[in-house]
Structure 1
Amino acid sequence: MSSVGKKGSAIFSGFRALGLYSNHLPHVVRFHKKHREFYVVTAVGQCFHTYNVKKLGIVAVSNALPEDIACLAADRMLVYAGHGKVISAFAKNTEVVHTYEGHQADVHLLLPFGDHLISVDKDNAVIIWDVESEDVYLQISFDRSTFEVGAVMHPSTYLNKILFGSSQGSLQLWNVKSNKLLFTFPGWGSAVTVLQQTPAVDVVGVGLASGQIVIHNIKFNETLMKFQQDWGPITALSFRTDGHSVMAAGSPVGHIGLWDLEDKKLIGQMRDTHTTAIAGLTFLHGEPLLLTNGADNAIRVWIFDVAGGEGRLLRFRMGHSAPPTMIKHYDQSGQNILSASQDRSLQSFSTVHERFNKSLGHGSFTKKKAKKKGVTYDTAKLPPITAFASETARQGDWDGIVACHQGFVLTTTWNYRKGSMGAHRLEPERFNKNRALNVHATAVDITSCGNFAVIALSSGHIDVYNMQSGLHRGQYGQDRAHSGPVRGVSVDALNQLMVSAGADGLLKVWKFKSKELLNTHSLQASPSSTLLHRDSGMLAVAVDDFTISIFDMEMKRVVRHFSGQRGQINDMTFSPDGRWLITASMDCTIRTWDLPSGSLVDCFLVDTAAVSISFSPTGNVLASAHVDSLGIYLWSNTTLCSLVSLRPLPADYEPTVVMLPGTCPSKDDEEEVSEPESSEMDEYVSPAQLDEQLVTLSLLPDSRWKNLLNLDIIKKRNKPKEPPKVPKAAPFFIPTVPGLVPQFALPDKSSEEQSKVFNFGVLAQKSNFYLQLEEALDSNLYEAAVRHLKELGPSAVDTELRSLAPDMGGNVCVMQSFLRMISSMLKQKQDFDLAQAYLALFLKLHLRLIAEQPVLMQETENVLELLERTWTSIQTLLNQNMCLLSYIKSALL
C-alpha cells in the first residue's frame, strides 16, 4: 500500500464540526471565581463543549474519548465524564488528567463529593474514588431487586452523607465515611428520577416517574408539599435563588412547569421549550436566568424579567434536531453553509463564528396561519427538503433560494436575508384538477442572474418560473421533457443552455430561452443526479450503475468516465477551478477524481456514509453531512498550505478509515504517523535541465548581466559630483568586504605596523577566478569558474575580465581558457544568457588583442560555430511553438 493509503487522505484532513451543541445528557454548570462568570458544559458524542453563559460563545472543546460520553459531572477544578466502564477527569476543559477504572458495567451516574468522586454503574455497584490518587476509597453494593440506584445527591451541610434514590421508589441515606446506612425513606410508590437540593437546608426536591414532585424534609422525614405534572416523568428540577421561591420541573415532552413554593400552586407553563425531553435545567445562582438543554441539539437561556411571569428566551444555540439531508455553500465567501434537515427546517451555519448562524425556519402551506398558531401547532407544515438551489445575485431584491419537499409537487422559495420562508409557492397548474396523482418535484436550479428557477418533476415535466413574480414562464418539450422522472436540471452560466437528465437514460440539451431541443445523448444507465460546474461547462452525471460520466456542454459529448464505486452515489461537488470532482457514496468512501488526467487521486473511508458534500468556493474547506449525524463536518484542503504530490491510485487500492473531525484517532493511526513516509510522496526536485535538446537560461536577475556592456556609461553617469564627506562623529561599524554576499573584513595581523615602502607584489596577486581558469586548462572542467562568476556583481565581473589581459597581469593562455569556458556553456546549453553577456564583454575589452593572437582566433572560431548551431536550434523551437499557438487560436475562433 502506498503512503497515501497509510495516512488516509492525501488532500483532506479533519478540521472541526459545526452545528453540534447538546445531546440527551443533562448539562453541567460551573462558576469561575476569578472570571466571575458562569460556564455550561454539554456532552456531544465523544467530547464535551464548554460555553460561557454570558454570550453562549464556545470556550473549549475537550479532547475526544474512545467512546460516547454516558454521564457528566463537574466540581471546582475538574470535569468528569463516564464512557463505558471508565471515568475520565478533565482539567482546563480539554485534557484528561485522571482515569478511574474498576467498574464491571457501564457507568451511568456521577457525583463529585469533596476530594472524592461517587460513581454508579448499570450493575448497581457504587464506587467512591479518591480523586487525586485514583484509588477506590469505598465500594457499596445494593441488591438490584430491592434497591436499584436511579438518582444520587449530597444533602447540603450533611457531613459525609449521601442520599440515594431507587427505581423501586425508596430512598436511603448513607454515611460514606463509616460505610453505614443511616435511614431508609419508604418513598411514594413511584421510581425516583431526580434528586435536587432546595435552597432550604434539610429539604430535598424529589422527582418521580409518576410526574409527582415531592418537597421532603429529610431531617424530620416529613413531606412539606406535593405537586403533580401531567406530562410524564420528571426529568429535571431546579430552584430559583434570587429571592423568588419558584421551582422549575422538566418533562419528556419539552414542557417546563413553574411552581410557586410559597403559595403551593402552578404559576406558569413554558411549553415547547425543546422539541424533545428536557435533559437538564438550572437556575443560575442569584440570577433570574434559567438554562436548559435537550436532545434536540439546543441550549437555551431564559430570563425571568417579569414578576410572576414565564421565562422569555434570551439567547440560544441551536442545530438540527434530525440528520441533514442536503448541504451547500451559500455565497462566494465560503463562510455560510445552507443545510436542510429531516426536522423540516432550513438553517445556515457560519464557519467563522456561531453568532452568525441563522435558522430560516420550517416550510408551511399557509405562512400567515402558521404565524398565528405557532410553528408547533402548524398542521400545514411541509415535509423535509430533499433538494434546493441558491443564488446571491438578486438576494437583496427577492427570494434567492428554491427548495423541493419530499413527496410534494409544490416547491417553495426562501429569503436568506430575512431568514424566513419566501413569498412564493411554485406549483404547476396542470395538476390542479387531479391532485391525487403521485407527482413530486425532483430537482431544481436557479439561473446565475437570479431571475429564473427551473423545476423538474417526477412526471417528466420541466417548468420555468420567474423568481420575482412567481409566475410560470414556460416548459420544456411540447408535452413533457422526459418519458420518466427527471433526475437533474442545470442552467449554464450565460442562460443560453439548459441540460436535463431523466430516468429514461437520456441527457438532453435545450436552448434556455426558446425551449428548443438541441442535442440528445444516451447514457449507459439511468442517471441518479447531475451537477454542473458553470465556469468550465462540465456536467457530472451520477449513474445508477455507480459510475460517473462527465459531459462537456461545449462539445456536446461525454469526455470522462469514472468507475470503481461500490454503492449509490449520494452527492457530488466540484472544486472551484473545476479540476477535481469529489463524490460521496453509500460504500462510505469520499473520492476525489482529477478531470484533466481522468484518474482517481484520493480516496478515504468514513464510519458512516456521507449523504451530502459541498466544496467551499474559496477551495479551503470541504463540508460533509453523514447518516444519523446531526453535525456538519469540515475537512481542510491541505494542498493550499503544503506541497502534496498526487498520483493516480491503483485499481486494487484499499482506502483506510478516517475519523470524523473531533473524534479520537485510533492507536494504529498514531503509530503510522511516526513511521517514515514512502519515497513515493517525496518532494519533487526539478533537474537543472529537462532535456538536452532544450536551451536553459540562468535564474539570475537581469541586473547581474544585462548592463555589462554599458557599465562604463553607468559609472560615468553615477559618478559623484563631490567627494564623500566623512561625518564628524561616525558610529561604529564592523568593516565589511564589498560584494553581493556581505562578509566581515578580518583584521590582517601581519600588517599591524604599516610599512612606508609600497609593496608592488600585491598588484601581481591572482584572483580565484584566474586560478580556476588556469586549472581548467588541464582538467577541462569549468563548472567552478562559471559558479564563481555567477556570484559576482557587474563591476566585479568587469574587473575579472579586464585582469585576463597580459598588460593587466594576465596571459594569453588564461584568455584561451575563458573562451573554452564559453564553449562549454554553449555545449551544455545552460546559462545561455550569461554566456552571451560574458562573451560580449570579453570581445569588447580584448577584441584587438584577440585579432593579433592566432590561438585566440582559433578558439573564437570554435565559439562562433557553437553559437550559430545554438541559435539555429532556438529559432527552430520558437517557430514550432509559434505555429502550434497559431493553430490552437484558429481552432478556437
Structure 2
Amino acid sequence: MSGGGSSLFSGFRVLGLYSNHVPHALRYHKKHREFYLVTAVGKCFHAYNVNRLGIVAISNSLSDDITCVTADRMLVFTAAGRLISAFARNKEVVMRYHGHKQEVHLLLPLGDQLISADSGGDVIVWDVQGGDIYLRLQFDLNTFEVSAMMHPSTYLNKVLLGSSQGALQLWNIKTSKLLFTFPGWSSGVTVLQQSPAVDVVGIGTAAGRIIIHNIRMDETLMSFTQDWGPVNSLAFRTDGPPIVASGSPQGHIAFWDLERRQLVTQQRHAHSTAVAGATFLHGEPLLVTNGADNAIKVWIFDQEGGGARLLRSRQGHSAPPTTIHHHGSDGKNILSAGQDGTLQSFSIVHERFNKNLGHGSINKRKEQKKKKGLLYEELRLPSITAFSSADARQSDWDGIVACHRGRPAATTWNYQRCTMGIHHLQPPSPCRDAIAMAVDITSCGNFVVIGSSTGRLDVYNLQSGQHRGCYGDDDKAHSGSVRGVATDTLNQLTTSVGSDWLLKFWRFKTRKQEEQLELNAAPASLMLHRDSGMLALALDDFTLLVVDIETRRVVRKFAGHHGNINDMTFSPDGRWLVTAAMDCTIRTWDIPSGCLVDCFLVSMAPVGVSMSPTGDFLATAHVDSLGIYLWTNKSLCGPVGLRPLPADYLPTVETLPGVKADESEKEVTSEEAEDAYRSADQLGAELVTLSLQPESRWKSLLHLDDIKKRNKPVAPPAAPAAAPFFLPTLPGLTPRFTLPTASEEETQSKVLSWGSLSQSSEFSSALESALESRSFDRPVSLLKDCGPAALSVELTCLTSEEGGASHLLLAFILMIDSMLASGRDFELAHAYLALFLKVHLRSLSQDAVAMAALLRLSSRLEARWAELRTSFDQSLCLISYTKSALL
C-alpha cells in the first residue's frame, strides 16, 4: 500500500550548517550601514550580519549544489551547475541566466553586467536586468584556462583574467578587445585581488607565491612565498596598516607587511580545513574567513605586533554527527558528537547560545604545553561513539560522560564550562582489549555505569571519578560485549544487554543479578523511558522489543524495518517510540495500541534521533550530512488523526528541513519590487472584519441631535469679507473644486423648477441601481466618503416625503443585509442600521415588505452575534487559563 508523507512530523529547520568550500561573498548595506556575509550551504545560501553573526536570511533552494557565490549592492548571484541565478532580498530568484554548456565556477559582478566563466573555456558577459548575453569569449583550455577574474579599480569596462597556465590577460568587455597579456610567473594563477592602491594587484599562484604587481607599468613590486601550498585567498587591509593576508589549504593564514616586505605574523589552524575565503572589512581591523570545516570566523587585529584574535565565530561539525541527545529538561539544547571528534551543543532558540565543548585529549595539560609545537594532534582522542548527559548536578561537577572509538577509558565533560572534564573513567585492572561501549548517568547525577566490550559493567562516582564497583561474578556482567545499559529513576534497578543475547536486571546498590531474559537475536542497543518504566530494545534482526521493567516481561514487539536500527527515542509521555534505521525510514510506534502510526522516508539514512523533553521537536542526524534537522510535532498544534498503518505500507520521501526546493519558475526583473503583505478582505466565514474607518465616522451617528445643539452658534452668522476670488467646492470629506461652465452662468435663473427640486442624490441613484444588480459595493463606498452630517441627510432623503421613493428603503435594508452576510465593515453596518431605524422606523412599520426584510435581517444579526460571542468566550477562557497557569 502506497501512502503519503508524515502525518505527525513536518520539517522545520536545520541546525549547525554555516559554510562549505565555496568562498563567501561580502556586501555592504548603505541603508542599514552594516556588512552582510553570504555563504553557500549545499543548494541554498545563508546571509549573516557581520556585527553579531546572526543569520538574517536563508535563500530558496536550487536544483543543484552552489559552486560559486558573489554579490553586488542589490542582488546575490549564484552558480549551480550550468545555471546562474540572481536572488533579491537574499531569498527569491528574480532572474535566471541560461547559456553555459559546462559548469560555471567563476562569477564577477561589474555594474550592470555580470561576468561568468565555466570549465569549458567560455566567458560570458550578461546584462543583469534583461538576462541577455552581451558578450561571449571562448578560450582554448590548453593555452589559457580561466582560473581567476578581477575588475581593476578605476579601469572602466576592463577585466583582468588569470589562467591555470600562469598568464594573465586584460580585456575590454565593451569593445571585446584584448588590451594586454602578462606572461605570468610560471605557475597557475589561483587568486586575483585589487589592492588599496590604484593599478596595483595581488596575485596568488598555485606554487604558493604572492605577487604584488603594477599592471599599468607591468612591474612586479614585491613577492612573498608561503610554505603551505597554493594561495587559496588574498585580502588587503584598508584601515591603515599595509597588510595582506593569504590563506592556505592547510587552514593557516599568513599576514605580510607590504612596507617592510616581510612576514608579520601567522594564524595557524585558523580553520581545520582549507581557507575558502578571506576578506577584510573596508576601513575596519576585521578579517572575515570561512572554510570547508563548516565555520565562519571574524578576526580582530588588536594584539601587539599586529596579531589577530578570534572575535566571534559560528562553527558546526566538520564531519557528520553520529550521536545526538537533548540536554536538559527544557528541550532547547541538543548535544551532538561528530566524526570530527568534537562534542557540541546546538540551541534551537538562537545560534549565539551554541557551545563547542571541544576535542577530547588524552592528557589535557600536556596538550596545552605542546600546542605551540603542533604535537597536540597526537594527544587527541578519537571520535565519540556514545555519551550520556544529566543536568541534575552539572553546576557542581561534570555532567557528561562519553565513550571513544577504540578507547578503554570514558571521559567526562563539563557543559557549563564548555570543556573536557578532569576524569578518565577506567577500571582498576583494565584489559588491553577492553573498549568502553555503553554508558548511562543516573537521574541524580552522582553515578555513571559504563559497559565495555569484554562484558564488564562498572560503576563510578562522577564527583571524584573513583571506581565504586562492578556487576556480576568474576567482574563480568555478560559473556560478550555490553551493547547497552540503563538505570531507573530511583537508582533501584540497572538493566543491561549484551552480545550474549541476554537482557539482565541488576540491583543498583548490591550489584546482584535479579533476573534475566533470553532474547531471540543479539541486541544492538536499548533505551529506557524512566517515567513509564518502558525499556525498548533494538535487535540485530531489525525488530523492536518493549519490556516493562516492573513485570520483567516483553509487552510489545514491532517488526517492519528492513535495515539496522541506528537509534530510537521515546516521546515525553512514553506513548510513542520513534526509531531510525538504515532503510532510510523514520517510524513512530504507538505503544498502547501496538501499531505503527507514522512512517516516512528521508533521502539520507538517519543515524541519530532524539525527541525533545517538551515534545515539540524531533531532531535527526543523517549520513554524510553536517547538520541536525528539526521536525515539528503536528499533534501539539492541532488534532492529528493517527490510524494504524498496514504491514505493506510504502512511505513517501519527506524533504529534509531547510533544503526544500522552490518550484516556482516565475522571473521578476524588477530589483526594487517590494514583498508587501496584503491582508484579505475577509478573514474567515466565522469572523468579521472592521472597516478601519475613524471612530468619529460612526460613533457620532446616534448623537447628531446633541452635537447640532451643542454646536449651534450663539450669534447670527456674519457676512464673510469680500474675497478677491473664490473656488466653489463639492460637499464631502475630501476637498474637491468645481467651476461652472459659461453656458450654465448665462442660462442660470433665480426661479427653480420642480425638476431641480426633486433631483435625487448620487447615493440614491447608486442605491436604486444596486437594487436591480444586487451588488451594493458602490453605495457602500459612497457612504464611507460621507461625514456624519452628510450621511444623516442622505438617509433622511430616502423617503418619498423628502424626495426619495419607498423602494429605496427596501434597497437600504438589503444593502445592510449584504454587508452583514459578507462579514465586512461590521461596525459601519450596525451604525448605519441604527441611524436608519431611528429616522424611518415609523414609515417602515406601515410597509409589510420592508418589515419582512427587517425580520430576516434581525435573524441574521442574532446568528452572527451568537457566533462572535462563542469566539469571545473561548478566547477569554484561554486567556484566563494562561493567566492562572503563569501565576
Gaps in structure 1 of 5+ consecutive residues: 671-728, 731-742, 755-767, 769-786, 792-893
Is 2:438 the partner of 1:447?
no
The Cα of 1:313 is off from its aligned counterpart by 1.0
- Cα deviation digits, residues 86-138 of structure 1 (max 9, x gap): 01100111111011111111111100011011111111111111001011111
The Cα of 1:667 is off from its aligned counterpart by 5.7
Per the alignment, residue 630 of structure 2 pairs with 634
- Contact 2:60–2:661 at 8 Å: present in 1 too? no
The Cα of 1:666 is off from its aligned counterpart by 7.8
Per the alignment, residue 67 of structure 1 pairs with 64
Given the two structures, how large is their TM-score scaled by the length of structure 2? Answer: 0.75
The Cα of 1:307 is off from its aligned counterpart by 5.5
Per the alignment, residue 473 of structure 1 pairs with 468
Per the alignment, residue 451 of structure 2 pairs with 456
**CA–CA distance in structure 1, aligned partners of residues 79 and 843 of structure 2:** 80
- Cα deviation digits, residues 708-729 of structure 1 (max 9, x gap): xxxxxxxxxxxxxxxxxxxxx9
The Cα of 1:605 is off from its aligned counterpart by 0.8
Is 2:503 the partner of 1:511?
no
Is 2:206 the partner of 1:209?
yes
**CA–CA distance in structure 1, aligned partners of residues 190 and 367 of structure 2:** 36
The Cα of 1:72 is off from its aligned counterpart by 0.4
- Cα deviation digits, residues 789-834 of structure 1 (max 9, x gap): x99xxxxxxxxxxxxxxxxxxxxxxxxxxxxxxxxxxxxxxxxxxx
**CA–CA distance in structure 2, aligned partners of residues 475 and 129 of structure 1:** 73
Per the alignment, residue 377 of structure 1 pairs with 375
Per the alignment, residue 686 of structure 2 pairs with none
Per the alignment, residue 114 of structure 2 pairs with 117
The Cα of 1:377 is off from its aligned counterpart by 3.3
**CA–CA distance in structure 1, aligned partners of residues 452 and 662 of structure 2:** 46
Per the alignment, residue 389 of structure 1 pairs with 388
- Give the counterpart letter for 2:480 in structure 1: G
- Contact 2:108–2:115 at 8 Å: present in 1 too? yes
What SS does structure 2 have at the residue aligned with 1:413? Answer: strand
**CA–CA distance in structure 1, aligned partners of residues 304 and 31 of structure 2:** 31
Q: How many residues align?
A: 685
Is 2:236 the partner of 1:239?
yes
**CA–CA distance in structure 1, aligned partners of residues 600 and 841 of structure 2:** 70
Per the alignment, residue 659 of structure 1 pairs with 655
Is 2:538 the partner of 1:542?
yes
- Cα deviation digits, residues 2-49 of structure 1 (max 9, x gap): 6xx33x111111100111111011111111111111111111111111
- Contact 1:460–1:485 at 8 Å: present in 2 too? yes
- Give the counterpart letter for 1:349 in structure 2: F
**CA–CA distance in structure 2, aligned partners of residues 157 and 633 of structure 1:** 47
Per the alignment, residue 145 of structure 2 pairs with 148
What SS does structure 1 have at the residue aligned with 2:654? Answer: coil
The Cα of 1:373 is off from its aligned counterpart by 2.4
Is 2:560 the partner of 1:561?
no
What SS does structure 2 have at the residue aligned with 1:622? Answer: strand
**CA–CA distance in structure 2, aligned partners of residues 374 and 131 of structure 1:** 50
The Cα of 1:67 is off from its aligned counterpart by 1.2
* Larger Rg computed on CA atoms: 1
**CA–CA distance in structure 1, aligned partners of residues 292 and 122 of structure 2:** 27
**CA–CA distance in structure 2, aligned partners of residues 538 and 316 of structure 1:** 42
- Cα deviation digits, residues 303-345 of structure 1 (max 9, x gap): 1123542111111111111111101000010001001111111
Choose the corresponding residue for 1:438, options 408, 411, 433.
433
The Cα of 1:270 is off from its aligned counterpart by 1.1
The Cα of 1:473 is off from its aligned counterpart by 1.1
What SS does structure 2 have at the residue aligned with 1:524? Answer: coil
- Cα deviation digits, residues 183-241 of structure 1 (max 9, x gap): 11110000000000111111111100000111111111111111111100000001111
The Cα of 1:365 is off from its aligned counterpart by 1.8
- Contact 2:438–2:452 at 8 Å: present in 1 too? yes
Per the alignment, residue 277 of structure 1 pairs with 274
- Give the counterpart letter for 2:395 in structure 1: G
Higher mean displacement: 525-534 or 58-67: 58-67
Per the alignment, residue 851 of structure 1 pairs with none
What SS does structure 2 have at the residue aligned with 1:276? Answer: coil
- Contact 2:62–2:661 at 8 Å: present in 1 too? no
- Cα deviation digits, residues 411-470 of structure 1 (max 9, x gap): 011111111111211000222xxx5x3210110001101111000011011011111111
The CA RMSD over aligned residues, in Å, is: 2.5
- Give the counterpart letter for 2:569 in structure 1: T
- Alignment CA distance shift 1:747-1:28 (3 Å): closer
The Cα of 1:753 is off from its aligned counterpart by 13
Given the two structures, how large is their TM-score scaled by the length of structure 1? Answer: 0.74
Choose the corresponding residue for 1:616, options 612, 618, 626.
612
- Alignment CA distance shift 1:218-1:502 (3 Å): same
Per the alignment, residue 421 of structure 2 pairs with 422
- Alignment CA distance shift 1:142-1:491 (3 Å): same
Is 2:642 the partner of 1:643?
no
- Contact 2:60–2:662 at 8 Å: present in 1 too? no
Alignment of 1:264-303 (within 5 A): 264-303=261-300
**CA–CA distance in structure 2, aligned partners of residues 542 and 474 of structure 1:** 28
Per the alignment, residue 678 of structure 1 pairs with none
Identity %: 64
What SS does structure 2 have at the residue aligned with 1:182? Answer: strand
- Contact 1:66–1:664 at 8 Å: present in 2 too? no
- Give the counterpart letter for 2:565 in structure 1: I
What SS does structure 1 have at the residue aligned with 2:379? Answer: coil
Per the alignment, residue 398 of structure 2 pairs with 399
Higher mean displacement: 279-288 or 377-386: 377-386
- Give the counterpart letter for 1:390 in structure 2: S
Is 2:49 the partner of 1:52?
yes
**CA–CA distance in structure 1, aligned partners of residues 100 and 660 of structure 2:** 22
Choose the corresponding residue for 2:134, options 133, 137, 141.
137
**CA–CA distance in structure 2, aligned partners of residues 308 and 171 of structure 1:** 35
The Cα of 1:664 is off from its aligned counterpart by 2.6
The Cα of 1:629 is off from its aligned counterpart by 0.8
Per the alignment, residue 15 of structure 1 pairs with 12
Per the alignment, residue 310 of structure 2 pairs with 313
- Contact 1:505–1:526 at 8 Å: present in 2 too? yes
